[in-house]
Structures are given as structure tokens and as C-alpha cells.
Amino acid sequence: MAAAVDLRAVQNEGALHDYTVTLVDGVSRHRDEIDDLLGSYSLGWTLERMPPVDRGILRIGVYEILWRDDIPDAVAVAEAVALAVDLSTDESASFVNGLLGRVLEMKPRLGIVPDPA
């Protein structure tokens, strides 16, 4: 993902919104942790088996829930579900909602320190 942001800058395709860069950077830095959490809390689905769009949406959602204090958890989940409705399969929205709900339940026990806003 970070390579796409860098390529866009090199090709002079216009500036990206600051929050887009923040998301790409944050998900990239925490990707291993995010993927471990997704693999642990998804019931019956391996990370590799998830549709690529769902994986991307979930990675962003988990990043916002766990590492961004300036984004309310409910907003992160609602936005992720909306993206799943718009971009993925008919079943994806409920899958994304359920998996992010499990991450929310575990959030207090994970001991994650949010990134600076």
C-alpha cells in the first residue's frame, strides 16, 4: 500500500488527502499485528480465504479502532460496513461488522497504545 502512495507522488497525480496517507502509513506499520488479530478473531475464515476487498476494509477498520483515538469506534465500524456494502459481496457487510465487533470486545484487553493523532 505504501508503494502505491509513493508511486502516485512520483507520477505527480495530485496530492492525496492527509488522512489517506495516515491510513496507509498506519496500516502498513501495524499490518502484522492487524493480520494476527484478524486471523485470531475471524471464526471459520483464514485471512487468505477472505476476499481481498474485505481484508483491506478490515485492516483499515482495525487500525482505526485500535490505533486512532480521534476516530470514534462506532464511526470506524460504520464506515467499514458501508465500504463493504458498496465494494464487496452481499455477505461482506455482516462479516465485517461481526469481526470488528469482536475486535471491539477485545480492545480493552489488548493493551494497544494509540498512535499520535
**Is residue 117 in some structural domain?**
no
Structural domain includes residue 65: yes
Number of domains in the chain: 1
Contact 28, 12 (CB under 8 A): no
**Alpha-helical regions (H) of 1-117:** 2-10, 18-41, 52-67, 73-87, 92-110
pLDDT in tens, 34-90: 999 999 999 888 899 999 999 999 999 999 999 999 999 999 999 999 999 999 999
What are 90's three cell numbers? 452481499
Distance (Å, rounded) from C-alpha 94 to C-alpha 91? Answer: 6
Asked if residue 3 is part of any domain, the answer here is no
Whether 23 is covered by a domain: the verdict is yes
Is residue 26 domain-resident? yes
Does the residue 9 lie in any domain?
Answer: no
Q: Give this prediction's pTM.
A: 0.88
65-76 confidence digits (pLDDT tens): 999 999 999 999
- 115 found inside a domain: no
- The range of the structural domain enclosing residue 40 comes to 18-110
For position 92, which CATH number holds? 1.10.940.10
**Which cell numbers in the block locate residue 6?**
509513493
- Cβ contacts of residue 66 below 8 Å, gap of 6+? 30, 34, 37, 103, 107, 110, 112, 114
